[in-house]
A = this chain, B = another copy of it.
Amino acid sequence: MKIGIVGAGSIGLLIAGYFHEKGHIVTIYTRTIKQAESINSKGLILEKNDQKTLQNVKAKVFDQQVLFEDNDFLFITVKQYNLDDVLDQLKGKFNHSIVFLQNGMSHINKVKQLQFKNVMLGIVEHGAIRISQNHVKHTGNGVIKIGLLQGNTDEINKLENIASPSFPIEYVKDYIHILKSKLIVNSVINPLTAIFQVENGDLLTNPFFNKTAKDLFNEVAEILELNKEYYWEEVKKICERTKYNYSSMNRDLFYKRRTEIDSILGYIVECANQQSKTVPVVQTTYNMVKGLELKK
């Protein structure tokens, strides 16, 4: 199959590498000319279990001249805050299947309005680090979970062909549920480990960080209408499993990069406003991360 991937961060490069390894024709759409040139001239290095393989994926700069119709499937892996630009470009230009792999949930309504033919939403449960512009390291095995937002259910079956045993794609009926599950985990672990500049496990072992996490969790669970007992256990499990890891938002603040706070806690604040509920801990945590983003 012909697969296009928009966005060449760690997740974009990771899925490009695995899909090419499976035998698909993969084109990756990058933001910079430099990265496209790097991938085209040197190939994409996919590193897993200390082994490196070279994947000959093609790369193109994502711009107005791009013809997405060449692809059977398009995977959108850009951050939520860059999605509007991508959607502007795609509008009316693509009639096959699109899979959105963003954190958060604020893209759902935007995407619905654009009336693409086949739209899927998914979450990525892999760990990956972009080592250089054409080199990605797979640091944690997981799964991609995908649900159908709108369109032809036959497209779902094609996902099986795209996936491979070492890089599975799981179809889930209730996509809202999987997006919510990921959002609540991201809402608690990401902002707090970023503000405190600690590893994920510290939210369990430091009793005061743990209290803060629980208070934040309770407000988010209320807004997302999720079962508190069950999901608090989930949050704790993930903190335990990734206890020596730094969250992506922790690293974003550390390296003074923009964070995804707007699509995570910003979205919760919006939902709370719509529900006429106050979420003081969410609001405070949101403001803190936004402020730290601006800190020199």
- CA gap between A285 and B291 in the complex, in Å: 15
> Which DSSP category, helix, strand, loop or mixed, fits chain A's interface?
helix
Point out the residues of chain B lying under 8 angstroms from A198, CB to CB: 295
Q: Looking at A281, A285, A288, A294, which has the most chain B CB atoms within 10 Å of its CB?
A: A288
Judging by beta carbons under 8 Å apart, are A288 and B206 in contact?
no
Closest Cβ of chain B: how far from A289's Cβ, in Å? Answer: 8
Closest Cβ of chain B: how far from A215's Cβ, in Å? Answer: 6
Closest Cβ of chain B: how far from A21's Cβ, in Å? Answer: 41
- Stoichiometry (number of copies): 2
Closest Cβ of chain B: how far from A152's Cβ, in Å? Answer: 44
Point out the residues of chain B lying under 8 angstroms from A216, CB to CB: 284
Closest Cβ of chain B: how far from A54's Cβ, in Å? Answer: 41
Judging by beta carbons under 8 Å apart, are A211 and B295 in contact?
no
Interface residue from B206, B212, B290 paired with A294 (Cβ < 8 Å): B206
Number of interface residues of A (CB under 8 A): 24
- Does A32 reach chain B (CB closer than 8 Å)? no
In the complex with contacts A283-B215, A284-B215, A290-B208 CB distance below 8 A: yes
Judging by beta carbons under 8 Å apart, are A212 and B280 in contact?
no
Interface residue from B202, B206, B280, B295 paired with A280 (Cβ < 8 Å): B280
Question: Which chain B residue lies CB-closest to A280?
Answer: B280
Point out the residues of chain B lying under 8 angstroms from A215, CB to CB: 280, 283-284, 287
- Does A81 reach chain B (CB closer than 8 Å)? no
Closest Cβ of chain B: how far from A125's Cβ, in Å? Answer: 28
Point out the residues of chain B lying under 8 angstroms from A116, CB to CB: none
Judging by beta carbons under 8 Å apart, are B208 and A287 in contact?
yes
Q: Could you list some 24 contacts between A and B, CB below 8 A?
A: A195-B195, A195-B288, A196-B291, A196-B292, A198-B295, A202-B295, A206-B294, A207-B291, A208-B287, A208-B288, A208-B291, A209-B288, A211-B287, A212-B284, A215-B280, A215-B284, A215-B287, A216-B284, A280-B280, A280-B281, A280-B284, A281-B281, A281-B284, A284-B284
